[in-house]
């Protein structure tokens, strides 16, 4: 026997297994409890086009779902897309009660709860809502704003330097921290870097195992923001390891400063199904994203090193006076090997 609250906690953990492979869909987890409260099925949405979490759990439960409860992190969908509507499948399986963490904000899929209610199914919503929202924050933010959720990631010394005075920057942080970056990359749909970083470091921008260099099966789209198309033909981002888009001003238009229009860039990525972006800098491009209000979260890897000179982690974020400082809230601080990783969300600007 598990409580519905415990079942939701498990469903949220299951949902997280889909991070990085479900876009443009959300991550969703589902547990099915029998009428006696036993877990009879569980599932998560693993990839876009694949079965939804409820369908996976129903297949496991079979007849044991009859008269039972479905505990789902997101309102069951009501529409036929690449798969059939989950609300109907739950009704057909004889589910009596559905416990939902978060309502579906998309007009096309919403309405599942109303369909279930109309069929006499009892509905409870809002169970562990905050936790489920934060597990799905990229997708929820993306569909609400019509642009991908942007995480700016950087590595710096304790005095906020991202490169030494002579331009050297590899490796500021330890191998455990760099391994963690690859884990972070595996949760997003696109990795974005400025042409300055490509010219300076020739990065691969792939998800790989740092021990042997082997590539993960699923690679995020690599995006180089490169107004005039200066990315060298032999740059490693152009290799066959992953798909790459050199985003130029010709394709997207330019802002008044002559650089690529970053809002247009994010709109185009959203249209291509990208919901989560990892912005890997460098400092100039990150500053431009922040100045335009296009960053949602910051993940910083800070090494216990001091440089005293050299490139700062961020250049010109449009702030000239302390009253205009960009405010964030720490949501996590973790030690990784000798380094610290902090995660902070940007506070929405007051109107």
Ligand X SMILES: NC(=O)c1ccc[n+]([C@@H]2O[C@H](COP(=O)([O-])OP(=O)(O)OC[C@H]3O[C@@H](n4cnc5c(N)ncnc54)[C@H](OP(=O)(O)O)[C@@H]3O)[C@@H](O)[C@H]2O)c1
Q: Rule CB under 6 A: is residue 167 a binding residue for ligand X?
A: yes
Give whole-number Cα distances, 171 to 14, 119, 154, 178, in Å: 34, 59, 12, 9
Q: Rule CB under 6 A: is residue 281 a binding residue for ligand X?
A: yes
| Rounded Cα–Cα distance for residues 75 and 125 (Å) | 8
Minimum distance of ligand X from residue 245's CB (angstroms): 13
Binding segment for ligand X among 20-28, 88-96, 144-152, 252-260 (CB under 6 A)? Answer: 252-260
Judged by DSSP in three states, 227 sits in coil
Catalytic residue among 4, 42, 54, 280: 54
Q: Rule CB under 6 A: is residue 76 a binding residue for ligand X?
A: no
Q: Rule CB under 6 A: is residue 339 a binding residue for ligand X?
A: no
Minimum distance of ligand X from residue 179's CB (angstroms): 15
Could you tell me how many residues of this chain bind ligand X (CB under 6 A)?
33
25-64 positions binding ligand X, by CB under 6 A: none
Q: Rule CB under 6 A: is residue 225 a binding residue for ligand X?
A: yes
Exposed e or buried b per residue across 19-54, where buried means at least 16 C-beta atoms within 10 angstroms of its C-beta: bbbbbbbbbbbbbbbbeeeebbbbbbbbeeebbbbb
Q: Rule CB under 6 A: is residue 280 a binding residue for ligand X?
A: yes
| Rounded Cα–Cα distance for residues 192 and 31 (Å) | 36
| Rounded Cα–Cα distance for residues 280 and 258 (Å) | 21
| 54 is known as an active-site residue | yes
Q: 203: closest CA among 164, 244, 174? A: 244
Q: Rule CB under 6 A: is residue 285 a binding residue for ligand X?
A: yes
Judged by DSSP in three states, 62 sits in helix
Q: Rule CB under 6 A: is residue 298 a binding residue for ligand X?
A: no
Minimum distance of ligand X from residue 249's CB (angstroms): 7
How do 339-346 and 328-336 pair as beta strands? antiparallel
Among 259, 275, 297, 341, binds ligand X (CB under 6 A): 259
Write down the residue that tokens 């912005």 correspond to: 279
Residue positions annotated with a catalytic role: 54
Which positions lie near ligand X, rule CB under 6 A?
A: 154-156, 162-163, 167, 169, 172, 193-197, 200-201, 225-228, 230, 255, 259-260, 262, 280-285, 288, 311, 315
């Amino acid at each position: 026997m598990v409580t519905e609250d415990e079942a939701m906690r498990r469903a949220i953990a299951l949902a997280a297994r889909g991070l990085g492979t479900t876009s443009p869909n959300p991550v969703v987890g589902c547990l099915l409890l029998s009428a006696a409260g036993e877990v009879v099925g569980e599932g998560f949405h693993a990839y876009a086009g694949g079965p939804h979490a409820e369908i996976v759990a129903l297949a496991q439960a079979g007849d044991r779902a009859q008269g039972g409860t479905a505990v789902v992190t997101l309102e069951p969908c009501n529409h036929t897309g690449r798969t059939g509507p989950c609300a109907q499948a739950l009704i057909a399986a004889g589910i009596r009660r559905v416990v939902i963490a978060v309502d579906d904000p998309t007009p096309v899929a919403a309405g599942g709860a109303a369909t279930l209610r109309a069929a006499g199914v009892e509905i409870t919503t809002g169970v562990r809502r905050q936790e489920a929202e934060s597990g799905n924050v990229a997708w929820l933010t993306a569909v609400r704003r019509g642009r991908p959720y942007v995480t700016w990631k950087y590595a710096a010394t304790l005095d906020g330097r991202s490169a030494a005075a002579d331009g050297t920057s590899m490796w500021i942080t330890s191998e455990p921290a760099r391994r963690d970056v690859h884990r972070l990359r595996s949760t997003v749909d696109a990795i974005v870097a400025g042409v300055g970083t490509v010219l300076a470091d020739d990065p691969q921008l792939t998800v790989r195992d740092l021990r042997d260099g082997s590539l993960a099966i699923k690679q995020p789209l690599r995006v180089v923001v490169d107004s005039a198309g200066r990315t060298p033909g032999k740059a490693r981002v152009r290799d066959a390891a992953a798909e790459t888009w050199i985003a130029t001003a010709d394709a997207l238009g330019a802002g008044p400063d002559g650089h690529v229009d970053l809002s247009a860039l994010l709109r185009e990525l959203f249209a291509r199904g990208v919901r989560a972006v990892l912005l890997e800098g460098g400092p100039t491009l990150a500053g431009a994203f922040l100045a335009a209000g296009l960053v949602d979260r910051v993940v910083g890897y800070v090494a216990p090193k001091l440089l005293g000179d050299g490139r700062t982690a961020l250049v010109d974020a449009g702030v000239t006076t302390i009253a205009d400082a960009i405010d964030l809230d720490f949501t996590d601080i973790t030690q990784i090997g000798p380094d610290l990783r902090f995660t902070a969300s940007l506070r929405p600007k007051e109107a």
